């Protein structure tokens, strides 16, 4: 048997009440965002209260000024409204006087509609089907109420049959046109493929020609370099032989022109010994000038050939770059088309996945009661 009349433990009850009060105080501190984050600043609160009071007084004075201004504007508006009403009354009076003087009922265009004797003067609304007075807006003859309805129905049936035959012919002609367009498109695609192959072959031939021309140009440069080196060696040997001969056969005491040579260089002479240039020297100078002129002409021709070769290579490179650019444009179009197809497929998959989520998975959305069960205690 259960014992219900147990004595109350006041000590335990007071402890429970104390813990409950502590819990309520803790909740008030924890769930108060202002106290929890920044604490309490009495001076700041007093300053805020003072600023708020000053702001309220300023707003009160501002509202009073606006109210006085509004009263003044209302008085001005009333005066303007009275003046406008007076002007409207005068305009209405003048308009009524003008109508009574110049706009009599007999002078109106629609007087035939308002004439009390109009029915007596008017003709019948419809005499026959071909009455010219029965127009579109007369509302005296409707479709199907004419006297020759049988002939009209027969004509309409024949017209429908003619239209159907014409539509069938147009549909067949459109089909034939579509077949012709498809065949032309296929022929055009074959032609484009053949042209692409021809362009590729031309590009290969152009590349081989560029390589061959580069090889020939390098060989020509190598031959030119070897010729220049041989000429330089031969000239050096000739200079050495000439110098040796001058030392062997030179005669200072005679009037040999070589005696007038200065020790400071072969291009300088001793004035008191020099007798002028000998015919051999003059001829040597002329020969040297001729050689220099020929060398200059040869270098000029080589430069022109080199410029022509560079121009030809530039034209070939430009043509190859144009072909490569066209190929890249075609590849880009193909990639754009593939990317569009891929995006379309991904969009369909995403839409199907979203429909599956919202129709199959998320069938029980949470309510407000679900979110109200959180943050109810401090523990």
Per the structure, the complete domain to which residue 305 belongs is given by 292-350
Residues of the chain scoring pLDDT < 50? 1-4
Predicted local distance difference test score (pLDDT) of residue 3: 47
Q: pLDDT tens digit string along 155-207?
A: 888 889 999 899 999 999 998 889 898 888 888 888 888 888 888 888 888 88
Q: pLDDT tens digit string along 89-114?
A: 999 999 888 888 887 877 777 777 77
Number of independent structural domains in the chain: 1
Q: In this structure, is residue 336 part of a structural domain? A: yes
Predicted local distance difference test score (pLDDT) of residue 300: 92
Predicted local distance difference test score (pLDDT) of residue 33: 66
Q: In this structure, is residue 303 part of a structural domain? A: yes
Q: In this structure, is residue 183 part of a structural domain? A: no
Q: In this structure, is residue 312 part of a structural domain? A: yes
Q: In this structure, is residue 322 part of a structural domain? A: yes
Q: In this structure, is residue 330 part of a structural domain? A: yes
Predicted local distance difference test score (pLDDT) of residue 144: 66
- What secondary structure, in 3-state letters, does the chain show? CCCCCCCCCHHHHHHHHHHHHHHHHHHHHHCCHHHHHCCCCHHHHHHHHHHHHHHHHHHHHHHHHHHHHHHHHHHHHHHHHHHHHHHHHHHHHHHHHHHHHHCCHHHCCCHHHHCCCHHHHCCCCCCCCCCCCCCCCCCCCCCCCCCCHHHHHHHHHHHHHHHHHHHHHHHHHHHHHHHHHHHHHHHHHHHHHHHHHHHHHHHHHHHHHHHHHHHHHHHHHHHHHHHHHHHHHHHHHHHHHHHHHHHHHCCCCCCCHHHHECCCCCCCECCCCCCCCCHHHHHHHHHHHHHHHHHHHHHHHHHHHHHHHHHHHHHHHHHHHHHHHHHHHHHHHHHHHHHHHHHHHHHHHHHHHHHHHHHHHCCCCCCHHHHCCCCCCCC
Predicted local distance difference test score (pLDDT) of residue 1: 42
Q: In this structure, is residue 321 part of a structural domain? A: yes
Predicted local distance difference test score (pLDDT) of residue 36: 60
Q: In this structure, is residue 314 part of a structural domain? A: yes
């Amino acid at each position: 048997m259960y014992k219900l009349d147990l004595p109350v433990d006041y000590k335990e009850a007071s402890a429970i009440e104390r813990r409950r009060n502590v819990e309520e105080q803790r909740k008030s501190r924890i769930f108060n965002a202002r106290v929890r984050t920044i604490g309490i600043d009495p001076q700041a609160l007093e300053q805020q209260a003072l600023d708020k009071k000053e702001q309220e007084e300023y707003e009160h004075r501002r509202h009073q000024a606006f109210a006085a201004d509004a009263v003044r504007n209302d008085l001005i508006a009333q005066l303007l409204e009275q003046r406008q009403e007076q002007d409207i009354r005068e305009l209405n009076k003048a308009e009524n006087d003008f109508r009574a003087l110049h706009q009599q009922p007999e002078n109106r265009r629609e007087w035939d509609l308002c004439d009390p004797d109009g029915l007596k003067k008017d003709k019948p609304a419809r005499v026959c089907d071909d009455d010219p007075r029965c127009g579109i807006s007369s509302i005296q003859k409707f479709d199907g109420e004419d006297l020759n309805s049988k002939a009209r129905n027969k004509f309409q049936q024949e017209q429908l049959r003619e239209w159907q035959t014409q539509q069938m012919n147009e549909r067949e002609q459109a089909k034939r046109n579509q077949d012709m367009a498809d065949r032309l498109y296929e022929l055009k695609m074959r032609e484009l493929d053949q042209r692409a192959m021809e362009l590729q072959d031309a590009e290969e031939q152009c590349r081989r020609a560029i390589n061959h021309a580069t090889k020939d140009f390098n060989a020509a440069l190598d031959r030119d370099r070897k010729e220049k080196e041989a000429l330089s060696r031969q000239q050096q040997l000739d200079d050495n032989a000439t110098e040796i001969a001058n030392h062997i056969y030179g005669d200072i005491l005679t009037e040999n022109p070589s005696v007038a040579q200065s020790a400071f260089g072969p291009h300088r002479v001793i004035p008191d010994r020099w007798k002028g240039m000998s015919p051999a020297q003059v001829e040597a100078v002329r020969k040297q000038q001729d050689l220099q002129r020929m060398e200059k002409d040869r270098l000029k021709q080589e430069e022109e050939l080199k410029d022509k070769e560079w121009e030809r290579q530039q034209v070939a490179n430009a043509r190859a770059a144009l072909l490569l650019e066209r190929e890249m444009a075609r590849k880009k179009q193909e990639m754009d088309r593939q990317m569009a197809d891929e995006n379309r497929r991904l969009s369909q998959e995403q839409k199907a996945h979203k429909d599956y989520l919202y129709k199959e998975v998320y069938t029980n959305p949470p309510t407000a009661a679900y979110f109200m069960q959180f943050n109810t205690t401090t523990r």
